[in-house]
Amino acid sequence: MSTTRAFARLAALLAVLCAVLFALRIWPAWTIVPAVLVVAALPALPLSVFGNLAQTRRLEIYEDGSPLKAWLAGPLVRACVAAVAALTMTVLAVPQLLAGTPEAWIVLVASAATVPFLAPAIRRGVAGHVTEAFRAAQPVRLAWRAAVPLLGLAAVALALLVPAGEVAMPAPARSALVTEWVHAAAFLDRLQAEALGALDGHAAWQAVAALVLGPGAVAVYGASLGALAALPGSERARALGPASLISPPPRPSTRVIGWTAAIVTAGAVFGALPWVATTEARIAATPPSMRLSARIAALEVVVAERIGPALYAPGTVELLRAEARAAAAELTEMRRAGLIDAVDRAAEGMTGNVDAFLDDYYSLPGEYRRLFLMLSGDMTETLAADLASTLAEGTPAEDLRTRLAAVTQAGPEDLRAAVGQRMDDTLATRRVTPPEGATLEVTATCPAAPCLDLARLAASERSALTGRLTAAGGAGAVGMAGGAVAALVVKKVAAKGTLKLATKAMTKAVGSKMAASGVGVAVGGTLGSVVPVLGTAIGATVGGALGGLAVGVGVDSVLIEVEEALSRDTFRAEIVSGIEDWRRETHALLEPAPVE
């Protein structure tokens, strides 16, 4: 038989097993008998076939005509032995699978798949060494024998990975007998874990017994399923057939089939069903606190953390705190990104206002106003105020001021909303409900999730975001009038000496204005001589005044154009540099403080 066909049959057998296990949980007690018969029949068939091979080999010492050989060659005793072995495996293996322990299912599937995998290789190795009668079934028998110890060792390794005290009690089935049966398997699993954790003194035999009765039984059962799938269909006739060297084996007689059916029926109807009914009634009449499941639950120590009135898995408190801190950090990063974006927009807005300031600076009204301020001694201060006022036009820093005010005044509400969804999901997935009567060990408590002071956490994150800016004077300035940011920028410009240089340049320009006055007098005399009606003295006076003004204004206009051509780009670059310095420094103050 091909390996592909063997694995297809194995998949069908596992599907039948899963269907029976599902039915045992939801059907009443009487279904236990047919379910056990079906599940036990699966491993009983290959065990009986292997018994036939061993029986045939042992009978070779007898003469063919001996009545003793004829009697010993019969299938009934062999089938009964196989049935008892299969029932024992079923009683031990099925509740472990019903309990849902992962290692039991891993051992089952692995051991079942090992036999069809090994059988073809063994068949090629023994083909030239065994007689024809043994050539089909013997390789499967050897693969079955190899799989059991191999997977038994794997079961031990898996059992060692399961810490004692972490075996979950299964949910109740519809039948009280099935429930107690499964709880007994869970207790066996726990006993195995505890014994493996203390392999000294009297615990050693407990570990061995638990492994043999636990995953060992599952491994044998799984290997038997694999053997049944790997056996050719014709070889299955050996299960109820006489011991024989004929290949293919003869079909079982109707007499044997009849006797087998009679024994199974009598045992099921007059033995198993009454026993199941009586046991189910006895368990149902026993108070829950006196049942085996209650005594097992009392041995269970549930380790949990108490949050408010509810219990949660160990580590939940620290997980909630970590999630709250992560949510706070994400909220802070979102606010930081908004503030940095607002700083960039404020810098861009102020940079766009620089040309308006320079247009006024390099104009005749601006020139004369600065001349007057120079005479009064207030030129540098007023120039700084004008620059700050112009940079603040259009309130480019208003969004920054609004965002920073919202951050500095924010309470824990936003953080509580950010933490809420994560917290609800964590609490829903980590809730613990101890079995009735179990011993409870509480390792941590807190009055409410997320088990830390959100107001304090919010204040800490707020301080981390704006604390350095506040210490540097930035937060207070931004919180004042809309032009305060521009004033900070002007301080950066003034620190570069740009405004003082502008004052010195104005002082040098005064000399050129004084030179223009002599020319104004000469022009005035010429104008006065041609003024009609007025006398020469009056004409000279008026002409001198008009000439002085005209020539002075003209000269100033030319000088301003020359000054603008020579210095405007430099002056603008200095102001923009001050804005960029403010941008970079504010970015640095908004970034997380370096860890020392």
Q: Is residue 164 part of a domain?
A: yes
Both 364 and 245 in one domain: the answer is no
| Residue of 504 and 447 predicted with greater confidence | 447
What is the overall mean pLDDT for the chain? 73
Both 426 and 372 in one domain: the answer is yes
Across the strands, what pairs with 307?
A: 310, 446
Q: Is residue 311 part of a domain?
A: no
Q: Is residue 308 part of a domain?
A: no
Both 447 and 580 in one domain: the answer is yes
Report the 10 Å Cβ neighbour count for 461. 22
**What is the Cα–Cα distance from 592 to 72, expressed in whole angstroms?**
89
Chain segment 322-363, per-residue pLDDT in tens? 888 888 888 888 888 888 898 898 888 888 888 888 888 777
Report the 10 Å Cβ neighbour count for 211. 20
Q: At what angle do helices 484-495 and 379-391 cross, to 10 degrees?
A: 130
Query: What does the pLDDT read at residue 158?
Result: 58
Query: What does the pLDDT read at residue 111?
Result: 85
Residue 338 is part of which domain span? Answer: 316-590
Both 446 and 546 in one domain: the answer is yes
Candidates 445, 420, 208; CA nearest to 318 is 445
**What is the Cα–Cα distance from 80 to 73, expressed in whole angstroms?**
14
Both 435 and 550 in one domain: the answer is yes
- Grade residue 429 by pLDDT with cuts at 50, 70 and 90: confident
- 528-535 average pLDDT score: 45
- Grade residue 73 by pLDDT with cuts at 50, 70 and 90: confident
- 464-483 average pLDDT score: 56
Query: What does the pLDDT read at residue 190?
Result: 66
- When mean pLDDT is compared across 214-218, 374-378, 414-418, 451-455, the lowest value belongs to 374-378
Query: What does the pLDDT read at residue 198?
Result: 53
What percent of the chain shows pLDDT beyond 90?
A: 0
Both 439 and 574 in one domain: the answer is yes
For residue 319, pLDDT over 80 is answered with yes
The CA distances from residue 467 to 408, 459, 582, in Å, are: 10, 10, 17
DSSP character string of 12-73: HHHHHHHHHHHHHHHS-GGGHHHHHHHHHHHHHHHHHHHHHHHHHHHGGGS-TT-HHHHHHT
Chain segment 353-395, per-residue pLDDT in tens? 888 888 887 777 766 666 665 555 566 777 778 888 888 888 8
Where in 308-438 does DSSP place strands (E)?
310-312
Which one of 264, 299, 334 terminates a domain? 299
Q: Is residue 377 part of a domain?
A: yes
Chain segment 570-594, per-residue pLDDT in tens? 888 888 888 888 888 888 888 776 5
The CA distances from residue 551 to 92, 375, 517, 527, in Å, are: 120, 22, 8, 13
Domain count, the chain: 2
Chain segment 268-280, per-residue pLDDT in tens? 777 777 877 787 7
- When mean pLDDT is compared across 131-135, 175-179, 315-319, 473-477, the lowest value belongs to 473-477
Query: What does the pLDDT read at residue 562?
Result: 59
Q: Would you say 303 and 165 are in contact if contact means Cβ atoms under 8 Å apart?
A: yes
Query: What does the pLDDT read at residue 561?
Result: 63
Chain segment 13-57, per-residue pLDDT in tens? 889 988 888 887 777 877 778 888 888 888 888 888 888 878 777
- 295-305 average pLDDT score: 70
**What is the Cα–Cα distance from 389 to 198, expressed in whole angstroms?**
83
Both 236 and 332 in one domain: the answer is no
- When mean pLDDT is compared across 191-200, 242-251, 318-327, 428-437, the lowest value belongs to 191-200
Q: Is residue 462 part of a domain?
A: yes
Both 155 and 273 in one domain: the answer is yes
Both 366 and 441 in one domain: the answer is yes
Q: Is residue 305 part of a domain?
A: no
Both 295 and 322 in one domain: the answer is no
Both 286 and 416 in one domain: the answer is no
